[in-house]
Structure 1
Amino acid sequence: MGNTSSMLTQYDIEEVQEHCNNLFSQQEIVSLYQRFCQLDRNGKGFISADEFLSVPELAMNPLSQRLLKMAEGLNFKDFVAFLCAFSARATTQQKTEFIFKVYDSDCNGKVYFNDILEVLRDLSGSFMSDEQREKVLTQVLKESGYSRDSYLTLPDFVKVLGGHSLKMEVEVPID
């Protein structure tokens, strides 16, 4: 499975399904494998930063650099696991855990005020001033019982999001 020039076996498909908690059907995994092979232009068995950014929707995403950091060097199995949060069958908890990883850029299990502020800056660009972003973030944290000096662990992050439904889905075309 590491070599993209080989075909997926039934065992490979089932192994990937198990690895991603059956969030993708067998047909979806085959389609994802075909897309992975297209992205892995050199047939190395993993996706480089340039290959990852060849997907226009990702290249244009204001969080592309953070996503790139999470996705660079993924083999096929990990590529599918990365995409699990975007499955229509993923739970709110799975989506929240993925978003937490986007904010936790140093992977220390903690999201600080400045981590959130950086993401807000990436998302809002010039539409908001730094002062406005800081004011909004301070208020959201305050309403959730946290201060600017607090850091958020995953359970804290879930609390701040307040169990909101997260709409982040990518449809996997089946050939």
Structure 2
Amino acid sequence: MIRSGPPALLTGSLSQASLLRLYHRFRALDRNKKGYLSRMDLQQIGALAVNPLGERIIDSFFPDGNLRLDFPGFVRVLAHFRPIDDEDPGIRDPKEPEPLNSRMNKLRFAFQLYDLDRDGKISRHEMLQVLRLMVGVQVTEEQLESIADRTVQEADEDGDGAVSFLEFTKSLEKMDIEQKMSIRILK
């Protein structure tokens, strides 16, 4: 059945049935039965094709320039989008790694969609690039630049002209990121 499964950290809260459904989804996306997914396989997912950040999300499946996505990697990225269990009492062994679908890990994932050069900061230029993807031609370039300037300026607490991860998390502290970054694909 599933030859090399994802690490226990990812599957701990996944039922065997959910993991099996994910495996079937992985196999269905692997149209040529290669045993791995390529960027082209993921580009066939309708929700990603119409998402303005679809290419950036697809990039997250292929860290370090990898060209092949195995099943554990597929589950690892999707785990960030797993809704947080309402029944989960929130008590966790501090020695255990934080679940990938925790608020902090969801924020890290979102941050990396903006941090295009992976330098640990979101510059005005990076903010502008992402805004262009998100709004397209509906807004003038001048308006986009103004939005990018204002967004970076409001979040930039240390005055370095960029948004660090800490500043990013502070600027989103009132946002319900747990719900906004949830996909019910795993249930």
Common fold by TM > 0.5: yes
Partner of 1:118: 129
2-structure distance, mates of 1:116, 1:103: 7
What 5-or-longer segments of structure 2 have no aligned partner? 63-67, 85-100
Deviations 1:128-169 (A, max 9, x none): 112112212322332334489622332222122234112122
Partner of 2:165: 154
1-structure distance, mates of 2:154, 2:130: 20
Q: Kindly indicate whether residue 120 of structure 2 is the aligned counterpart of residue 109 of structure 1.
A: yes
2-structure distance, mates of 1:169, 1:60: 17
| Distance change in 2, residues 1:109/1:26 (3 Å) | farther
Structure 1 residue 74: Cα displacement: 1.7
Q: Supply the AA of the counterpart residue of 1:77.
A: P
Q: Is the 8 A contact 2:52 2:133 kept in 1?
A: yes
| Distance change in 2, residues 1:53/1:113 (3 Å) | same
Segments of 4+ moved more than 4 angstroms: 146-149
Q: Supply the AA of the counterpart residue of 2:185.
A: V
What is the RMSD computed on CA atoms of the aligned residues?
A: 2.3
Q: Supply the AA of the counterpart residue of 1:80.
A: V
Q: Is the 8 A contact 2:48 2:55 kept in 1?
A: no
List aligned pairs for 1:34-73, cutoff 5 A.
34-72=24-62, 73=68
Partner of 1:172: 185
Percent of aligned pairs with the same amino acid: 30
Shifted more, 104-113 versus 79-88: the winner is 104-113
- SS in structure 2 opposite 1:46? coil
Shifted more, 75-84 versus 108-117: the winner is 108-117
2-structure distance, mates of 1:23, 1:78: 17
Partner of 2:108: 97
Deviations 1:3-27 (A, max 9, x none): xxxx126xx55xx252426353322
Q: Is the 8 A contact 2:123 2:152 kept in 1?
A: no
Partner of 1:82: 77
- SS in structure 2 opposite 1:20? helix
What 5-or-longer segments of structure 1 have no aligned partner? 1-6
- SS in structure 2 opposite 1:111? strand
| Distance change in 2, residues 1:173/1:99 (3 Å) | closer
Partner of 2:87: none
| Distance change in 2, residues 1:54/1:148 (3 Å) | farther
1-structure distance, mates of 2:159, 2:32: 46
